[in-house]
Amino acid sequence: MKIIFFSDTHLCKDFTERTHAVETFIKNVCAGADMVFLVGDIFEFYHGYKGYIYPWYQGIADALRGVTKRGKSVYYIEGNHEFGMGRYFQSYTGAVCVNEVAMDIEGKRVFVSHGDKFVGGPVRAMLKSRLAAWVMDCLGPRFTWAVAMAARVVLSKKEKPYNKRAFDRFRDYAGRKFDEGYDVVILAHSHMPDKVETEPGGKQRIYLNTGDFIANATYITYESCAGFQIVKYLPFP
């Protein structure tokens, strides 16, 4: 069994080179796996509308559709830049859109989440509220995009520098999930790839962070024989 986890590509209207690279990654790398997890912030901004996909994200949607059409399972876990992928995106791509995933993978209890929930404050809660979704629905895709792009200047830090405190907070959060009974915790959002393996009481626990497709070009693979690994995507521009 082979599984791919990747996140934080932060694709935007003008980032054609990066978008093309991620499309190629989905077609060449993800299509060869049995299961794929998009661990959030694939898009710099997304709110799902009925019958509509932002034209600059169409290639990604088509690439995902190609993977699910080959019978592979794809999970799209929303990040803090994604506000309800919507039923249309899910039915078009065949990817299951969720907030987080808890499942058994070859005998291990695995938890996968973008990881912004435990570091986000009231602004996150407000933007992720039903009211915000309703406002976005009312504004329509073009106007919402314009507002989101104006807001990102203030809200978004695309190239996050290495931050020891944030790094440790993610590890601490993974530790709390281990206490809840998970064997493997996979997070994203920090843009800092990480892997920690411990064996308290002889029971193996693994925390991994996908990193990003901006500064690090890292993703996670799981293979039955090799376990979980952080891999660099070398063709990345």
> Tokens 């497709």, residue?
213
Q: How far is CA 12 from the centre of its chain?
A: 15
In the complex with Mn ion, the residue whose CB is nearer, 72 or 189, is 189
**Whole-angstrom Cα Rg for the chain:** 17
- Nearest approach in angstroms of CB 151 to Mn ion is 15
Give the angle 168-172-175 at the CA atoms, nearest 5°: 140
For Mn ion, the nearest residue by Cβ is 189
Tell me the closest approach of the beta carbon of residue 116 to Mn ion, in angstroms. 5
Using alpha carbons, list the distances in angstroms from residue 88 to 38, 163, 202, 227.
17, 37, 45, 34
Who contacts 52 (Cβ-Cβ below 8 Å, separation ≥6)?
Answer: 88, 141
What is the signed CA dihedral for 83, 88, 94, 97, rounded to 10 degrees?
20
Closest contact distance (angstroms) between CB of 114 and Mn ion is 6
Enumerate binding residues for Mn ion (CB under 5 A).
Answer: 41, 79-80, 116, 189
Is the CB of 25 or the CB of 170 nearer to Mn ion?
A: 170
Output the smallest distance, CB 99 to Mn ion, in A: 13
User: Which CB, 48 or 211, lies closer to Mn ion?
Assistant: 211
Minimum Å gap between C-beta 9 and Mn ion is: 11
Q: Looking at beta carbons only, is 23 or 82 nearer to Mn ion?
A: 82
3-class state of residue 41 by DSSP:
coil
Nearer to Mn ion, 18 or 27 (CB): 18
